Amino acid sequence: MANEVRADNIPVWAARDAAPRDVRFPRLTTTVDADVCVIGLGGSGLACIAELLASGVRAARVVGVDAHVVGGGAAGRNGGFLLAGTADFYHDAIAQFGHDRARRLYALTMDEIDRMAAETPRAIRRTGSLRIASSDEELADCEQHLEALCRDGFPAERYAGPEGRGLLVPTDCGFDPLRRCATLACRAADAGARLFEDSPAVGIEAGEVHTAEGRVRCERVVIAVDGRLADVVPAVASRVRPVRLQMLATAPTDEIRLTRPVYARWGFDYWQQLEDGRLLLGGFRDMAGDEEWTDSSSPSDTVQRLLESFLRDGLHVSAPITHRWAATVTYSENGLPVFEEIAPGVIATGAYSGTGNVMGALCGRGAAAWSLGARPALVDLLTSSR
């Protein structure tokens, strides 16, 4: 790994023209008043803010704070897949949560993908996605996955091609997660919402959020900090666990030509190629033992070596590696997100188990409606026992 051009823990998305304009927001150093204060300016918190504005809340009464920068967590540092469904494959979700619940959740995430594509079209590519089997056993599982989707009328087809064999979900997408965050943040700020960076929430209670140097007096609070959920919401800490996920990216290459994001080996590994030819590869966390159950967001040698071996020997790509990065996400016990009112007027969302791009947007939007007094159907879908 010695002679590479390597940006240090910077996602490849930052090398692209992510923002519609320079995205910089001030620190919160005073006391401000708001109807709703949103904590966390990743994809979920920004979807919440977009929904608040769309629902008619006066923009000046919406405040968003982030501990670091817009999209600085996993929301701007992920694999760039928009996949329908929950963290479990559809047939597994049916077995775990019941048919009606799994079907309704899948349909909601499909609708959310459409909404996201309409909202930030320049960040999203309507490519479809491939689930590729790594063994005969997994191929048989892909068949069950396919049958379950088709039985309920969800779009999916059997696939065999250069990537391998498995199934194709034509409605899934690839996207630039940082571009989406930057676009939503600029749009919210242009509309008049007040966003603050480098302003970690250090005290959260009904009616008030204390940041390191300031204070937000507010009617409602939405906490949307997937990667730091256990720290920020101690009430759920015993039910969730932080995990580090890692990726690398190469310089543009024509050694391989992929038109769709691929996830393989039971979803542990994933890769996609951007329009400019860069290849992005992530995964292998399960092969590093307990090392990856951490809230550290720095790349580790173990996983980076595994990724590099697969890049060279599995995908046969020799292009130089230009980016290696990591970020933290939170896993839940049962694969369903936390979406709860943890105190009167304080809603927490997160723990998407590594699949928060769509589910996070859905929950963020749901949290907006909930904070305005309408209890979304999503609450029961995500929290009721089977």
Give 143 or 187: the residue with its C-beta nearer to ligand FAD.
187
- Assess 360 for contact with ligand FAD (CB under 6 A): yes
SS3 264: strand
Give 6 or 136: the residue with its C-beta nearer to ligand FAD.
6
Give 231 or 380: the residue with its C-beta nearer to ligand FAD.
231
Q: Of 223, 297, 177, 233, which Cα lies nearest the Cα of 65?
A: 223
- Build a one-symbol-per-residue string for 233-272: x at contacts with ligand FAD by CB under 6 A, - elsewhere: ------------xxx-------------------------
Return the residue of 64, 128, 242, 354 that touches ligand FAD, per CB under 6 A: 354
Return the residue of 196, 355, 370, 379 that touches ligand FAD, per CB under 6 A: 355
Binding to ligand FAD in span 20-59, by CB under 6 A:
39-45
- Build a one-symbol-per-residue string for 181-220: x at contacts with ligand FAD by CB under 6 A, - elsewhere: -------------------xx-------------------
| DSSP for 85-110, written as a single string | S-SS-HHHHHHHH-HHHHHHHHHHHH
The label of the residue with tokens 């839940």 reads: 332
- Assess 79 for contact with ligand FAD (CB under 6 A): yes
The minimum distance between CB 225 and ligand FAD, in angstroms, equals 4
Q: Of 193, 192, 224, which Cα lies nearest the Cα of 39?
A: 224
Q: Where are the alpha helices (DSSP H) in the chain?
A: 43-54, 90-97, 99-119, 136-151, 177-191, 229-232, 301-309, 356-371, 377-383
Please classify residue 318 by burial: count the beta carbons closer than 10 Å to its beta carbon, then call 0-12 exposed, 13-18 middle and 19+ buried.
Answer: exposed
Q: Of 109, 47, 51, which Cα lies nearest the Cα of 81?
A: 109
Tokens of 259: 């038109």
- Assess 67 for contact with ligand FAD (CB under 6 A): yes
- Assess 366 for contact with ligand FAD (CB under 6 A): no
Q: Where are the alpha helices (DSSP H) in 246-350?
A: 301-309
Residue ranges in contact with ligand FAD by CB under 6 A: 39-45, 65-68, 72-75, 77-81, 83, 200-201, 224-228, 232, 245-247, 282, 327, 329, 350, 352, 354-358, 360
